[in-house]
Structure 1
Amino acid sequence: MLDNETKEQLQQYLALLESEIVFSASLDESDDSKKVEDFLTEVAEMDAKISIEAKKLKRTPSFEINKQGAESSGIIFAGLPMGHEFTSFILALLQVGGRAPKIEDNMIQQIKSIDRTLTFETYVSLTCHNCPDVVQALNIMSVINPKISHTMIEGGMYQAEIDEKQVMAVPTVFLNDEEFDSGRMTIEQIVEKVSGPMSADEFADKETFDVLVIGGGPAGASSAIYAARKGIKTGMVVETFGGQVLETLGIENVIGTPYVEGPQLMRQVEEHVKQYDVDIMKGQRAKSIQKNDLIEVELENGAQLKAKTAILSTGARWRAINVPGEKEFKNKGIAYCPHCDGPLFKDKEVVVVGGGNSGIEAAIDLAGLAKHIYVLEFLPELKADQVLQKKLYSLSNVTVITNAATKEITGSSHVEALTYTDRLTNEEHTLNVEGVFILIGLMPNTEWLSDTVALSDRGEILTDKHGATNVEGIFAAGDCTDSAYKQIIISMGAGATAALGAFDYLIRQT
């Protein structure tokens, strides 16, 4: 089941096990149980510290990872933890075995302080690159606090549950049998939702920063690194470290790195930032910013931070089409990530709204899974690169509809149809579909800045060649600005420019 390369990598990790591990497996005579049994046997045979025992669990097939002779870890895998979840399996092995998870001490204390039983279940697909972040976060919480347990449920093996619970986006998390949330979540966000946000009082002792970076994507991380290397006091306000790059599966244009996946790249970037003295305030969102004697930033939890300079790097998000049904059916048939949610629409009819590169790449990916794909483009012709269009038109289960204005998305408990208007004839047409993937570009996360810095008519922050805004001491970088091209490598360069611009500004003030 495991290829030689995977076995070699796994062997290196197994050598780090600090305790004996037992796989407590719930199996029967089914083909799926046989697959899980073969997987566990293959892993156990690789290290004498691992054994297998029978145990009746809620789902069959499934297995729990426990330390030999200890109480239940609460970490269960229902299905095969392969694909993107193989890393979740390895980390669970090591953490149950005694290796401390790599999270901040204050977060560990927050998790330990949770004093109620929390039973999490997460539905995943093995092609989802956002799912492991959620699975690993909940596994860590289970290791730290015995009142918390977590089961990863592989949707392909438990399709009946997926259909019964109408799970139409992954990851979808249930807590104590009630839907908790869906989509990418950090451990900070999960803990905040369970136990409440950090108090503003916890920020009261923060000293004035020389540079305060707002945003944790490529631009923000680059800004923080360049600022910290100058030896000045640097802070970061980060809602989710990684930003939009976490939604990107394959990246092939970061110079010197022929291929890397978005989550992997941003994990490496975060580790790079942590090599410097940067105060990273995760799970926090800025509410307002104003320039007085110092720059004052208010967070949504009410905390006030002060800085001599600030760098805005809040990035962008998927643009909405703003039609009836879009909000109502989000994660109930409406999706934005074909890699994550595509497998949930196997043999179903779906619509892709958007004829640019993102939309056409999504349609090509989905064509291998879905029964039929309709591509809707508002303009008279597709905007995607010709090489992508050529591939698209070679697919027999794709229909391209141009001059199409999406009017409404309808259904009962999930998406059942999409209605669009032909812009040439004004006729309305309805497509009976179960999924709608919306990929019409990005919009900057700058709504909170409308009364502070100058914005373009597209809501982008206007900057000069030093990354400076029209407000003295406030700089900006990345996809939230009016940069001509939105690329990871350009955002990183812009972050460096803004940090250097902020440093030069500080020098001139002394």
Structure 2
Amino acid sequence: MLDANLKTQLKTYLEKVTQPFEIVASLDDSDKSQEMLALLQDIVSLTDKISLNTDGSDARKPSFALNRPNGNISLRFAGIPMGHEFTSLVLALLQVGGHPSKLAQDVISQIQSLEGEFNFETYFSLSCQNCPDLVQALNLMAVLNPNIRHVAIDGALFQDEVEARQVMSVPSIYLNGELFGQGRMDVEQILAKIDTGASARDAEKLNGKEAFDVLIIGGGPAGAAAAIYAARKGIRTGVAAERFGGQVLDTMAIENFISVQETEGPKLARALEEHVKQYEVDIMNLQRATALVPAGAEGGLHEVKFDSGASLKAKTVILSTGARWREMNVPGEQQYRNKGVAYCPHCDGPLFKGKRVAVIGGGNSGVEAAIDLAGIVAHVTLLEFDSALRADAVLQKKLFSLPNVKVITSALTSEVKGDGQKVTGLVYKDRNSDEFASVELEGIFVQIGLLPNTEWLKGTVELSNRGEIIVDARGETSLPGIFAAGDVTTVPYKQIVIAVGEGAKASLSAFDHLIRTT
């Protein structure tokens, strides 16, 4: 199952296992069960700390559980955790085997103190880059607290469950049989939902913090670079982010970040956060900014308020809240979001295997999505508003070579249709004839660009007609002491490498402002 190189790497990792445990497999006569058995046999052959029991009786087959002799862990994989989930498997083996996690001790204590019964089920796909973080978070929580149980389920392998629960987006998380959430979540986000007092406690902590020299709002590439450059100046630096990594977390392949030949968004996001943590930076996650209160004309401190009820003050502020996927804003889109309307083809594409889907948008992202989906689904209809596609010629050539793709240009998507539970089609207007037409399908992937996250800033800093923060060559906004960087600004070309440079520039400008005014 595993090649020689992977076995060598895994053997090195498994040397960190200190506590013996057993893998209990529930198998049938299917090819997938034989494939799983081969994987598990490879694992146990690499260490004497792990044994294999193939007499499991779980209803989901193939699946396997990781069991300690004292039986105080309930952690299971239903499916074969390869692809993006192989790392989840390795971490689970290590953590069940006694290797400590890198989680902060206060978070570990919070998990261990949870009372009640928490039975989590996560549906993932092997091509989903958003799924591993969630699977790993819930696995770790199951290791730390016997009241928490988790099973990670490959949606492509258990199609009957996916159909019964109408899972159309991964990751999808169920808690005690009820839908708990969809999309990427880390340990802190999960805790914020199940530990009802956590938000109030966090707000109280934030309100008690001293003013920062530089406060950065947003934890994407621009925010990370700004934090590092500020901290290296020896000034008091804080980062308040809704999720560290930002839009990078939703990016699949990255091949144009200079000096890094190829990586993936979540991997780069983790590297950014680890780099920031090498310095004395106060990172405050799960903080959605709601208002900016600039210092008065006579000087003083700027204040940023958050929806948790907390507020932070600083001598200078760097705004790097990034951007998000642009929505179609048509009837039915919100009603059927995650019920057929999706924004990540890499994540959710496998759930539409053998079905009909549409891709909205003819730029590079849209055409790449259509090409990827064409290898999974029965048919792809690509709709583009303009009279011609805008993607690179090489991508268009590939697209038009595919037999199960239809391209419709001059098409204005006007409505998402559904049966109350899931998408059944869409309606578009032919911009040449003004006639409306319908397309029957089961999924719609929206790929029409980005919107800056600036709604909370209206009426404070000056914004462009597109909602971007207007900045000068130094990253300064219309307000003294307030700077901005990255995709949220008017700087052209929304690229990771540009955001990193702009974040560094804004931080240097903030430091220059500090030494000249304080």
Do they superpose with TM above 0.5?
Answer: yes
Partner of 2:429: 421
Looking at structure 2, the residues matched to 332 and 4 of structure 1 have their Cα atoms a distance apart, in angstroms, of 41
Q: CA deviation at 1:500?
A: 0.3
Cα distance 1:391–1:28, how it changes in 2: closer, same or farther (>3 A)? closer
Deviations 1:41-60 (A, max 9, x none): 11101111110123333422
- Establish whether residue 57 from structure 1 lines up as the match of residue 58 from structure 2: yes
Q: CA deviation at 1:279?
A: 0.5
Partner of 2:233: 230
Q: CA deviation at 1:119?
A: 0.3
- Establish whether residue 299 from structure 1 lines up as the match of residue 299 from structure 2: no
Local SS of the residue matching 1:198: helix
Alignment of 1:401-420 (within 5 A): 401-412=408-419, 413-420=421-428
- Establish whether residue 362 from structure 1 lines up as the match of residue 369 from structure 2: yes
Partner of 1:480: 488
Contact 2:92 2:139 in 1 (8 A): yes
Q: CA deviation at 1:291?
A: 1.4
Looking at structure 2, the residues matched to 496 and 30 of structure 1 have their Cα atoms a distance apart, in angstroms, of 54
Contact 2:429 2:437 in 1 (8 A): yes
Local SS of the residue matching 2:507: helix
Q: CA deviation at 1:468?
A: 0.9
Q: CA deviation at 1:298?
A: 0.9
Looking at structure 2, the residues matched to 452 and 232 of structure 1 have their Cα atoms a distance apart, in angstroms, of 26
Alignment of 1:172-321 (within 5 A): 172-196=172-196, 197-199=198-200, 200-292=203-295, 293-321=300-328
Return 102-111 or 221-230, whichever deviates more: 102-111
Contact 2:18 2:49 in 1 (8 A): no
- Establish whether residue 443 from structure 1 lines up as the match of residue 451 from structure 2: yes
Looking at structure 2, the residues matched to 115 and 72 of structure 1 have their Cα atoms a distance apart, in angstroms, of 15
Partner of 1:17: 17
Looking at structure 2, the residues matched to 253 and 161 of structure 1 have their Cα atoms a distance apart, in angstroms, of 39
Q: CA deviation at 1:80?
A: 0.5
Partner of 2:151: 151
Looking at structure 2, the residues matched to 282 and 414 of structure 1 have their Cα atoms a distance apart, in angstroms, of 33
For residue 395 of structure 1, the aligned residue among 402, 424, 448 is 402
- Establish whether residue 379 from structure 1 lines up as the match of residue 380 from structure 2: no
Deviations 1:225-250 (A, max 9, x none): 11001110111101111111111111
Deviations 1:154-179 (A, max 9, x none): 11221111111111111111110111
Q: Unaligned regions of 5+ residues in structure 1, if any?
A: none
Partner of 1:92: 92
Looking at structure 1, the residues matched to 442 and 208 of structure 2 have their Cα atoms a distance apart, in angstroms, of 51
Looking at structure 1, the residues matched to 231 and 451 of structure 2 have their Cα atoms a distance apart, in angstroms, of 29
Q: CA deviation at 1:325?
A: 0.7
TM-score, length of structure 1 as denominator length: 0.98
What letter matches 2:372 in structure 1? Answer: D
- Establish whether residue 346 from structure 1 lines up as the match of residue 349 from structure 2: no
TM-score, length of structure 2 as denominator length: 0.97
Partner of 2:170: 170
Looking at structure 2, the residues matched to 122 and 5 of structure 1 have their Cα atoms a distance apart, in angstroms, of 30
Looking at structure 1, the residues matched to 357 and 505 of structure 2 have their Cα atoms a distance apart, in angstroms, of 43
Looking at structure 2, the residues matched to 148 and 19 of structure 1 have their Cα atoms a distance apart, in angstroms, of 20
Looking at structure 1, the residues matched to 287 and 142 of structure 2 have their Cα atoms a distance apart, in angstroms, of 24
Local SS of the residue matching 1:156: coil
What letter matches 2:210 in structure 1? Answer: E
Looking at structure 2, the residues matched to 338 and 354 of structure 1 have their Cα atoms a distance apart, in angstroms, of 13
What letter matches 2:230 in structure 1? Answer: A
Q: CA deviation at 1:6?
A: 1.5
Q: CA deviation at 1:106?
A: 2.5
Q: CA deviation at 1:143?
A: 1.4
Looking at structure 2, the residues matched to 453 and 478 of structure 1 have their Cα atoms a distance apart, in angstroms, of 16
Looking at structure 2, the residues matched to 156 and 43 of structure 1 have their Cα atoms a distance apart, in angstroms, of 24
Contact 1:352 1:375 in 2 (8 A): yes
Partner of 2:121: 121
Provide the aligned C-alpha RMSD in A: 1.1
Looking at structure 2, the residues matched to 452 and 171 of structure 1 have their Cα atoms a distance apart, in angstroms, of 37
Q: CA deviation at 1:190?
A: 1.2
Looking at structure 2, the residues matched to 433 and 381 of structure 1 have their Cα atoms a distance apart, in angstroms, of 23
Looking at structure 1, the residues matched to 207 and 452 of structure 2 have their Cα atoms a distance apart, in angstroms, of 30
Looking at structure 2, the residues matched to 458 and 113 of structure 1 have their Cα atoms a distance apart, in angstroms, of 46
Return 199-208 or 339-348, whichever deviates more: 199-208
Q: CA deviation at 1:38?
A: 1.6
Contact 1:186 1:240 in 2 (8 A): no
Looking at structure 2, the residues matched to 42 and 382 of structure 1 have their Cα atoms a distance apart, in angstroms, of 48
Post-superposition, which runs of at least 4 consecutive aligned residues in structure 1 deviate over 6 A?
A: none
Deviations 1:333-386 (A, max 9, x none): 111111111111111111000000000000010111111111100011111111
Contact 2:214 2:238 in 1 (8 A): yes
Return 409-418 or 55-64, whichever deviates more: 55-64
Q: CA deviation at 1:32?
A: 2.7
Return 283-292 or 489-498, whichever deviates more: 283-292
Contact 1:376 1:402 in 2 (8 A): yes
What letter matches 2:416 in structure 1? Answer: I
Looking at structure 2, the residues matched to 4 and 457 of structure 1 have their Cα atoms a distance apart, in angstroms, of 56
What letter matches 2:381 in structure 1? Answer: Y
Looking at structure 1, the residues matched to 487 and 14 of structure 2 have their Cα atoms a distance apart, in angstroms, of 41
What letter matches 2:302 in structure 1? Answer: I
Local SS of the residue matching 1:470: coil
- Establish whether residue 454 from structure 1 lines up as the match of residue 457 from structure 2: no
Partner of 1:471: 479
Looking at structure 2, the residues matched to 186 and 326 of structure 1 have their Cα atoms a distance apart, in angstroms, of 26
Return 297-306 or 455-464, whichever deviates more: 297-306
Looking at structure 1, the residues matched to 430 and 354 of structure 2 have their Cα atoms a distance apart, in angstroms, of 27
Looking at structure 2, the residues matched to 238 and 109 of structure 1 have their Cα atoms a distance apart, in angstroms, of 23
Deviations 1:80-105 (A, max 9, x none): 11110000000011111112222222
Looking at structure 2, the residues matched to 317 and 102 of structure 1 have their Cα atoms a distance apart, in angstroms, of 30
Looking at structure 2, the residues matched to 176 and 474 of structure 1 have their Cα atoms a distance apart, in angstroms, of 46
Local SS of the residue matching 2:199: coil
